[in-house]
Amino acid sequence: MTDRSAPHDAPSVRPTDAALPGAQLTVTGVDRPGVTAALFAALQSAGPRAVEVVDVEQVVVHGQLALGVVVREIGDGAAGNVAALVERLSGLAAEVSVATGMSVTVEASQPAPASRPRSGRPHHVIVLGRPVPPAAVAGAARAIAAVGGNIDAIRRLSDYPVTSFELTVSGAGSTELRTALATVAAETGTDVAVEQAGLSRRNKRLIVLDVDSTLVRGEVIDELAARAGRAAEVARITAAAMNGELDFEESLRARVAALAGLPATVLDEVREHLVLTPGARTLIRTLQHSGFRCGIVSGGFTQITDPLAAALGLDFAAANTLEVVDGRLTGGLVGEVVDRAGKARALARFAAEHGIPMEQTVAVGDGANDLDMLNAAGLGIAFNAKAVVREQAHAALNLPYLDAVLQVLGFTREEVLDAGSLSSSG
């Protein structure tokens, strides 16, 4: 085969656009329609030499526009005529300023500094709080720099019910970022989540939620135990199990045994008094409108979770089943126990049933029995969780709003509102 490639000793080398001389126009002022169009229309007729656009960046912060455009002349010898280009564009800038009411300045552009090689994939660092104090952003910035990271961009994701900002970070690994930022979160009372950037972030398609103390407030079994007069005993066992101090199945059977003799009607009473965690409906509605499969996996009981799943329009549910004989609880269970390993198996089963790869799944939970499920998911989120869970999950949220999960997934407030309006109109 004949090699028709260029000889190695005669490469065609072209400087990067950022390294070539040119002029930068900076537009600032109160944002209004038509500003960007007016500027580029003027550049289009900026003769006698045509110009090409080298770089553009625009941002609007609370109605204030900042637009930067770098251009250079096209043609032989144009690169050495920057002063003439700046002078020519100054007249154009004055015309655009009068036409739009904006401030428009022109100066010679500075070559961008050579970027140092950055290892690893970029990450998104999400800072959430109500409020987000300046110390949280400053602390996050210092922590990122300390591990060799660089903040490439910042944008606001939401202002209600929590304020959240997304920092796009390059040059640092996931583990280093999470470790460094955990201290910032603890010191400032905010939540800081870290997730790798890329298509996989917004390619998630299935979410499973734990129920007790995640989807709903409180622990159902504690409510049942209170009606059996054994609340304190069961609460101690529950706390030890959620902290990872007891085997979950062993603790579950011990707690269920304390319910022996209760009338089955008590299950209906407890279910009717369930209180959803704030933001639960918003989370589910938004994800469903985005094409997610949504469900619950619980160490609780099907007599509670199945009607709950039906009421919320969920795609699947898995939980334990209390044995009922002659209208009363026997203190036993029926069928396979959904324990720590069982939750992970349920997640894998639901993903397989819907043809969704595990890396495209999300799991949210608060207890040690959720750890296998959180680790198996593409993204595992600890929600108001025990310390052992926060330390091992991919991300941790300590705010009381379940829809803060949306910001970890990169959803903006506008997207959440759009999903709500679609639901109302449907």
Residues acting as catalytic residues: 210, 212
Are 293 and 206 within 8 A, CB to CB? yes
Q: Beta partners for 168?
A: 124, 153
| Total Cβ atoms within 10 A of residue 167 | 22
> Among all chains, which residue has been given the structure tokens 């537009």?
27
CA pair distance 111, 118, nearest whole angstrom: 20
Q: Any residues with CB less than 8 A from the CB of 382 and at least 6 apart, and which?
A: 365, 366, 370, 374, 389, 390, 392, 393, 395, 396, 397
Q: Is the dihedral of CA 111, 112, 113, 114 positive or negative?
A: negative
> Among all chains, which residue has been given the structure tokens 């796009």?
168
User: Closest Cα partner for 211 from 295, 310, 268?
Assistant: 295
> Among all chains, which residue has been given the structure tokens 């997207």?
415
Q: Give the three-state DSSP class for 423.
A: helix
Are 104 and 27 within 8 A, CB to CB? yes
